[in-house]
Amino acid sequence: MAQASNASVAPPTDDELGRAGLGLAVEGQVARITISRPERRNAMTGRTWTTLAEIGRTLPADVRVVVVSGEGDIFSAGIDLNMFTPEGVDGERSIVAGLADGSADPADLEGYIAELQEGFLWLRRPDLVTIAAVRGHAIGAGFQLALSCDLRILADDAKFCMKEPALGLVPDLTGTKPLVDIVGVHRAVEICLTARRVGAEEARDLGLAELVVPAEELPGAVDDAVAAVLATDRDAATATKALLRQAPDNTLEEQIAAERRAQVGRLTALAAGMAAGQG
């Protein structure tokens, strides 16, 4: 799991963000990340994901909510398909060229994919609430990015598609676990192996969207969700998210023990606050 924020490290510069096809606006407790390559339908590259990881590592400690969206009327067309050509994209390494010419071995490639996965992993951090605001297509890596967030708020024109198997690949950007956790193995097999589009209404019915709104209402709905999250106590929110995130993998016994430990931690902090107030 990605480490918590370290505000002492410099965040990506505007130039680095631009080359990664990303926008970043941090205002107080809210960071807004925009996938921004409209001429490529917000397709993403390896640099997009290593820069996303860098954003996570350097997020100011004040930030509690992260909103991820796409520029314009599409979330993301997924990986930039030129990443699979020998030329790669704009000086970035091609994913296949090294294997084809023998200059990279499978272990190298696994290490590289692990670096890319870091761009998705940190969105699960318990001290943050992450929201994907999805308009239009979220394909492949775009769908996996939305799945990495805690909440998905969709415009009614949103469409998810796990395209990887149709391209001879597997989804490898951390999306298979949340997909199965949400829809179950059998529906996940059906969605991935048919690579069909899942529209907004169906996504809501399957639990892949917390909310579906008319496209023009998406920014307002996201702002409402941000405000609601910010109204809760930060430490309690962090402890609760940590608890909920571990629940699917815990037995009931393990989970209720974790609840007790977390509550003792909260009560201890509240008691210390009361004592300090009296002193």
Q: Does 193 bind ligand CAA (CB under 6 A)?
A: no
What residues pair up with 32 in beta bridges, in sequence order? 25, 67
Contact yes or no for 190/157 (Cβ under 8 A): no
Of residues 176 and 250, the one with the C-beta less far from ligand CAA: 176
User: Which one-letter amino acid corresponds to residue 16?
Assistant: E
115: alpha, beta or left? (left if phi > 0; alpha if psi -120 to 50): alpha
Q: In angstroms, what is the minimal distance from the CB of 150 to ligand CAA? A: 21
Q: Does 150 bind ligand CAA (CB under 6 A)?
A: no
Of residues 172 and 259, the one with the C-beta less far from ligand CAA: 172
Q: Does 188 bind ligand CAA (CB under 6 A)?
A: no
Q: Which of 190, 189, 209 is nearest to 199 (CA)?
A: 209
Q: Which positions from 82 to 121 touch ligand CAA by CB under 6 A, shown as an x/- string?
A: x---------------------------------------
Cα(123)–Cα(150) distance, integer angstroms: 8
Q: Report the residue from 140, 150, 155, 191 that binds ligand CAA according to the rule CB under 6 A.
A: 140
Cα(37)–Cα(51) distance, integer angstroms: 14
Of residues 112 and 127, the one with the C-beta less far from ligand CAA: 112
Q: Does 80 bind ligand CAA (CB under 6 A)?
A: yes
Q: In angstroms, what is the minimal distance from the CB of 159 to ligand CAA? A: 8
Q: Does 169 bind ligand CAA (CB under 6 A)?
A: yes
Which helix (H) or strand (E) segment is 174 a member of? none
Of residues 76 and 130, the one with the C-beta less far from ligand CAA: 76
Cα(219)–Cα(179) distance, integer angstroms: 25
Residue 157: phi, psi to the nearest 5?
A: -95, 10
- Site residues (vs ligand CAA, CB under 6 A): 40-41, 43, 77-82, 137, 139-141, 163-164, 167, 169
